[in-house]
């Protein structure tokens, strides 16, 4: 099949760490141009805005947006209005209503919209889902603790309004949980630790329920040393441990399974499949859980934070 020309918008850390290496592996896409106020890719045509990219390159069929969620709505709408297929880095938008409006606009225009959840593409997520499918869930523990200074150095936007705070990495855990658990997750209560000089939480604890099973969630953006990205599920057949962001699976009575990291190549392969099938994939369950945590959350003061 013919390769698809794609434009990459937002040449920041996530684009350089993940999107560019995935696109450089070959696959279904040719990176034809970029749009970014500050970043450039050697040897690739560059524009400052998505509007300029769209106007200059009518041959580009797809746009991948790697910009922060606040402000991404207008960029995605511009691409959809121009008849381009759109791939959204997670979180897909700053609000649920923005994401829903994008999905409706893509349907009306007849283009593909792909709201990505890269952690669902971790090596052992599908195996975990398969094992849990016929199990009775007793309890779930989600622990997602990482160092904001390591993964988001100097990125003040992440603690500003619309930046999600600790829910930016935390939504990765929720994307896995909504993928592997057989029953819907429901938020019961939340406690949000918000630094006195910031708008978004730097830590959060959330009580949820999956069917009748309790779900305890612990998000922390201030963990140094070893990072923790683990989900534990107690079942009638023993406890499942999904570790390292979904790349390591430990099941009762079995040797641990550890797969390679191929999250972003798998995302781009899925995007190409959706385009060729004339389909969209916009699962907003993780985003709704974050919105519910903010709605039910009790703010608690935390010390001022500086990068």
Burial (CB count <10 Å: 0-12, 13-18, 19+), residue 173: buried
Name the nearest CA neighbour of 269 among 89, 98, 27: 27
pLDDT at 38: 87
Phi and psi torsions of 88, nearest 5°? -110, 125
The catalytically annotated residue of 13, 90, 109, 135 is 90
Residue-wise pLDDT for 244-268, tens only, equals: 999 999 999 999 999 998 999 999 9
Tokens encoding 285: 């369950």
Give the Cα separation of 293 and 217 in Å (integer): 11
Give the Cα separation of 115 and 289 in Å (integer): 15
Burial (CB count <10 Å: 0-12, 13-18, 19+), residue 154: exposed
Q: What's the gap between Cα 68 and its chain centre?
A: 11
Q: Are 263 and 17 in contact, with CB atoms under 8 Å apart?
A: no
Q: Are 143 and 198 in contact, with CB atoms under 8 Å apart?
A: no
pLDDT at 122: 98
Tokens encoding 105: 């606009």
How would you list the strands of the sheet with 85-88, edge to edge? 45-47, 29-35, 4-9, 62-65, 85-88, 113-115
Q: For the chain, what is the mean pLDDT?
A: 97
Tokens encoding 232: 């534990």
pLDDT at 36: 96
Q: Interior CA angle at 171 toward 183 and 238, to 5°?
A: 45
All structural domains of the chain, each given as residue ranges with its CATH number in brackets, are 4-115 (3.40.50.720), 120-255+291-302 (3.30.360.10)
pLDDT at 1: 56
**Three-state SS across the chain?**
CCCEEEEEECCCHHHHHHHHHHHHCCCCEEEEEEECCCCCCCCCEEECCHHHHHHHCCCCCEEEECCCCCCHHHHHHHHHHCCCEEEECCCCCCCHHHHHHHHHHHHHHCCCEEECCHHHHCCCHHHHHHHHCCCCEEEEEEEEECEHHHHCCCCHHHHCCCCCCCHHHHHHHHHHHHHHCCCCEEEEEEEEEEECCCCCCCEEEEEEEECCEEEEEEEECECCCCCEEEEEEEECCEEEEEEHHHCEEECCCCCCEECCCCHHHHHHHHHHHHHHHCCCECCCHHHHHHHHHHHHEEEEEECCCCC
Residue-wise pLDDT for 52-75, tens only, equals: 999 999 999 999 999 999 999 999
Give the Cα separation of 136 and 38 in Å (integer): 50
Residues of the chain with pLDDT under 50: none
Residue 135 bears catalytic tag:
no
């Amino acid at each position: 099949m013919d390769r698809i020309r794609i434009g990459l918008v937002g040449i920041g850390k996530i684009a350089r760490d993940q999107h560019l290496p995935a696109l450089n592996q070959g696959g279904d896409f040719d990176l034809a141009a970029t749009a970014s106020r500050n970043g450039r890719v050697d040897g690739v045509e560059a524009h400052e805005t998505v509007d300029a990219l769209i106007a200059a390159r009518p041959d580009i069929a797809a746009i991948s947006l790697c910009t922060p969620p606040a402000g991404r709505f207008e960029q995605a709408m511009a691409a959809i209005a121009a008849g381009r297929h759109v791939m959204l880095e997670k979180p897909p938008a700053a609000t649920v209503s923005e994401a829903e409006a994008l999905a409706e606009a893509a349907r009306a225009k007849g283009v593909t919209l792909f709201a990505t959840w890269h952690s669902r593409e971790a090596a052992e997520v599908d195996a975990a889902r398969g094992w849990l499918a016929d199990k009775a869930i007793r309890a779930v523990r989600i622990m997602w603790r990482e160092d904001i200074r390591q993964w988001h150095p100097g990125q003040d936007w992440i603690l500003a309004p619309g930046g999600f705070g600790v829910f930016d990495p935390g939504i990765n855990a929720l994307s896995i949980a909504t993928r592997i658990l057989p029953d819907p997750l429901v938020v019961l209560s939340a406690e949000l630790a918000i630094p006195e000089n910031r708008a978004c939480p730097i830590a959060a604890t959330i009580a949820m329920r999956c069917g009748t099973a309790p779900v305890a969630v612990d998000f922390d953006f201030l963990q140094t040393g070893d990072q923790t990205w683990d989900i534990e599920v107690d079942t009638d057949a023993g406890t499942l441990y999904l570790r390292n962001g979904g790349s390591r699976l430990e099941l009762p009575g079995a040797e641990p399974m550890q797969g390679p990291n191929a999250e972003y190549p798998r995302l781009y392969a899925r995007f190409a499949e959706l385009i060729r099938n004339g389909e969209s994939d916009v699962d907003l369950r993780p985003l709704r859980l974050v919105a519910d945590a903010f709605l039910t959350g009790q703010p608690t003061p935390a010390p001022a934070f500086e990068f």
